[in-house]
Amino acid sequence: MEFTLWDRDINEVECDLLAMELFEDDPELSDTVKQFDRQLDGHISRLVTEEEFKGKEGKSLLITTLGRLKSKRILLLGVGKREDFILETIRKFAFHIVNKGKDSKAKKIATVIPGSSASDFRPQEYTQALIEGIILGAYQFDKYKGKNEESQECKIDEVVILTEVSGKAKPSRKEDLMVGLNWGRLVSEAVNMARDIGNEPPNIITPLSFAELARKIATDCSLDCHIYGPEEIEKMGMGAFAAVSKGSTQPAKFIHLIYRPQEIEKNKILALVGKCLTYDSGGLSLKPSASMKTMKSDKSGAVTVLAVMSKLKDLRPNFVVHGIMAATENMPGGNAYKPDDILKSFNGKTIEVIDTDAEGRLTLADALAFAVKQQATEIIDLATLTGACIVALGEYTAGVMGNNQPLIDRLLSEAKNTGEKMWQLPFDDNLKEKLKSDVADLKNLGDRYGGAITAGMFLENFVDKTPWVHIDIAGPAFHEKGWGYNPKGASGFGVRTLLEYIKQEKESH
Ligand code: BES
Ligand code: ZN
Ligand code: ZN
């Protein structure tokens, strides 16, 4: 998909579809639309009245221009009330254009950034949101489907972006628009890359092929890369991670990527840790088949980390970033680890296994302790850790926990801007009691209640006192039904918030 900025007369744009916004509380047609209306002998205003189109968010009107204008169709899209207008409204607006564009088999679409005629127009952010909505909304995973002509016909090739409805984008803004366009593209490409890997089936993405992919990305993106196999994992003392991998015939891989800036300007060392179960069958505590379906998504945390790491050479933060992923399957083979086993983790703590399906926290225990050993000054982990988190917050929202409120607040505030929904869950000393074991330092399961929180508090044992945030993405990482610009399947959740966070950290003093 190609993007161009248009700074000439809107009348001159040749395209299959030209999309423009209408605010609900400002139903007066803009000067440009009025001008088009005149050229079409009042066809637009007639339709607006007939259809009672009032600019409600998500409502739209498609107008054929009968060869009288340079654009073949005009799409008027409602964006709701001005007071409710946020960046997410722009992403949704963009997604609607993509949908309508696909429906009408448009190849070249043009659009005015909604809100761009308002005086408080924030060019960079608005453009970024528009690009995100378009690229993310246009995503589909059809690699394994036979190619038919129809799917090819519905691909948009070119997007023209317009700002000021009345005329030209001011030159000072054009630079901002370019920055927004480029950043929007970078972020969305990273998300779609995460979706592509996340959607790969578990017979294709195994711990080995995931590690090979990580190595390739490291080479392409100038990252250091260390990959450790089963013997090294045992030798390093990662007894919890090693145990999880034992029931599988696929060898486990511990993946460590490092981004080193050319000049280190900050003492900060950020570690990103991602849960990497390429498949979670539950192990001996086998999942019922309905819950097993979609467990290819149990690698989503790692996929997000990998996609973020792949963009650091473009983003160029001025501090070191580690990407840490303990890749394995959780299978019930003859050599599988068992409920009752007592495991010794990388930081020396012992863990009694209650349930082999609570495996993510075991792999993360060693990965987090490894991050501490790298002298990380800040750790963020992402994990499809608990079904309980989905019960607590619904499938669209990630649960955020940790030992450092300022860091939690920073991430929550970035998440708000990116449109990734996150909500904090409280650690609780009473719940902590439930992780006490009679025979080991900890057990790997509390009881039914507060399962997302006990899982988070389990992890806290492995980060020492390093500032740390845990993001449970079990809900939003994968969707069986698409919603908005999140198509069904892997969502690439977390990529946008993490990239935005790293960008802000780079710019802060
Ligand atoms: N990978 C699952 C969590 C999960 C559930 C992710 C649904 C995405 C969607 C995790 O390893 C798991 O199996 N958790 C169990 C824990 C249970 C044994 C206490 C769960 O949540 O059911
Ligand atoms: Zn599990
Ligand atoms: Zn799991």
Is the beta carbon of 474 within 6 A of some atom in ligand 1? yes
Separation of CA 383 and ligand 2 centre (Å)? 11
pLDDT tens per residue across span 447-486: 889 999 999 999 999 999 999 999 999 999 999 999 999 9
Q: Which of 284, 289, 291, 298 to mutate to test the pocket of ligand 1 (most atoms within 8 A of CB)?
A: 298
pLDDT tens per residue across span 243-261: 999 999 999 999 999 999 9
Cα–Cα dist 364/357, whole Å = 14
Residue 32: pLDDT band by 50, 70, 90 thresholds?
confident
Mean pLDDT (whole number) for 210-222: 98
pTM of the model as a whole: 0.96
| Ligand closest in space to the Cα of 275 | 3
Q: By the 8 A CB rule, do 301 and 330 touch?
A: no
Residue 31: pLDDT band by 50, 70, 90 thresholds?
confident
pLDDT at 146: 87
pLDDT at 28: 84
State both tokens at 443. 């057990």
Position 145, amino acid? K
| Ligand closest in space to the Cα of 443 | 1
The residues near 246 (Cβ < 8 Å, ≥ 6 apart) are 333, 335, 336, 337
pLDDT at 264: 81
pLDDT at 152: 64
Which of these ranges, 171-175, 261-265, 397-401, has the smallest mean pLDDT?
A: 171-175
* Position 52 pLDDT exceeds 70: yes
Q: 217, 299, 298: which is closest to 258 by C-alpha?
A: 217
| Ligand closest in space to the Cα of 388 | 1
* Position 81 pLDDT exceeds 70: yes
Is the beta carbon of 353 within 6 A of some atom in ligand 1? no
Separation of CA 280 and ligand 2 centre (Å)? 6
pLDDT tens per residue across span 347-403: 999 999 999 999 999 999 999 999 999 999 999 999 999 999 999 999 999 999 999
Cα–Cα dist 477/156, whole Å = 26
Residue 150: pLDDT band by 50, 70, 90 thresholds?
low
The CA distances from residue 323 to 198, 227, 271, 303, 341, in Å, are: 17, 12, 6, 11, 29
* Position 9 pLDDT exceeds 90: no
- Burial category of 72 from C-beta neighbours within 10 Å (exposed 0-12, middle 13-18, buried 19 and up): middle
Mean pLDDT (whole number) for 308-327: 98
Separation of CA 482 and ligand 1 centre (Å)? 21
Reduced to 3 states (helix: H, G, I; strand: E, B; else coil), residue 274 is strand
- Which atom of ligand 1 sits closest to the CA of residue 277? 1
Nearest CA to ligand 1 atom 5: 387
Mean pLDDT (whole number) for 431-454: 96
pLDDT at 21: 93
- Which atom of ligand 1 sits closest to the CA of residue 384? 6
Q: 389, 337, 384, 344: which is closest to 365 by C-alpha?
A: 344
Helices (H) and strands (E) in the chain, counts: 18, 19
- Which atom of ligand 1 sits closest to the CA of residue 360? 11
Separation of CA 390 and ligand 3 centre (Å)? 13
CB atoms within 10 A of CB 166: 12
Cα–Cα dist 336/345, whole Å = 17
Describe the strand order of the beta sheet including 224-228 as a list of residue ranges. 224-228, 253-259, 320-330, 269-280, 378-383, 468-472, 398-402, 422-424
Higher pLDDT, 115 or 300: 300
Mean pLDDT (whole number) for 270-288: 98
* Position 165 pLDDT exceeds 60: no
pLDDT at 268: 95
Q: 378, 370, 385: which is closest to 410 by C-alpha?
A: 378
Q: By the 8 A CB rule, do 252 and 279 touch?
A: no
Is the beta carbon of 387 within 6 A of some atom in ligand 1? yes
Tell me the torsion sign for CA atoms 133, 134, 138, 141: negative
Mean pLDDT of the chain: 95
Q: By the 8 A CB rule, do 260 and 342 touch?
A: no
State both tokens at 442. 């900890």
* Position 91 pLDDT exceeds 80: yes
State both tokens at 64. 């054929």
Is the beta carbon of 500 within 6 A of some atom in ligand 1? no
- Burial category of 343 from C-beta neighbours within 10 Å (exposed 0-12, middle 13-18, buried 19 and up): buried
pLDDT at 11: 86
The pairing of beta strand 489-490 with beta strand 224-228: unpaired
* Position 438 pLDDT exceeds 90: yes
Tell me the torsion sign for CA atoms 398, 387, 194, 257: positive
Which residue do the tokens 């309508």 mark? 100
The CA distances from residue 310 to 306, 315, 331, 498, in Å, are: 6, 10, 30, 12
Residue 164: pLDDT band by 50, 70, 90 thresholds?
low
Separation of CA 384 and ligand 2 centre (Å)? 9
- Which atom of ligand 1 sits closest to the CA of residue 297? 8
* Position 153 pLDDT exceeds 90: no
Q: 78, 63, 68, 157: which is closest to 110 by C-alpha?
A: 157
* Position 329 pLDDT exceeds 80: yes
Q: 315, 331, 154: which is closest to 243 by C-alpha?
A: 331
Query: Which residues are known catalytic residues?
Result: 287, 361
* Position 436 pLDDT exceeds 80: yes
Cα–Cα dist 47/61, whole Å = 8
- Which atom of ligand 1 sits closest to the CA of residue 287? 13
Separation of CA 412 and ligand 1 centre (Å)? 24
Residue 217: pLDDT band by 50, 70, 90 thresholds?
very high
pLDDT at 417: 93
Residue 456 φ then ψ, to 5° = -65, -40
Mean pLDDT (whole number) for 271-278: 99
The CA distances from residue 53 to 23, 77, 84, 112, 314, in Å, are: 11, 9, 18, 19, 44
Which alpha helices (H) appear in 200-281, and where do they start and end?
207-220, 230-236, 239-245
pLDDT tens per residue across span 406-427: 999 999 999 999 999 999 999 9
* Position 167 pLDDT exceeds 90: no
State both tokens at 461. 């044992």
Q: 420, 144, 475, 478: which is closest to 296 by C-alpha?
A: 478
Mean pLDDT (whole number) for 18-41: 89
| Ligand closest in space to the Cα of 387 | 1
* Position 343 pLDDT exceeds 60: yes
Q: Which of 337, 386, 435 to mutate to test the pocket of ligand 1 (most atoms within 8 A of CB)?
A: 386
Is the beta carbon of 88 within 6 A of some atom in ligand 1? no
Most confident region among 7-11, 30-34, 274-278 by mean pLDDT: 274-278
Mean pLDDT (whole number) for 14-26: 93
CB atoms within 10 A of CB 295: 20
pLDDT at 147: 79
- Burial category of 83 from C-beta neighbours within 10 Å (exposed 0-12, middle 13-18, buried 19 and up): exposed
Is the beta carbon of 386 within 6 A of some atom in ligand 1? yes
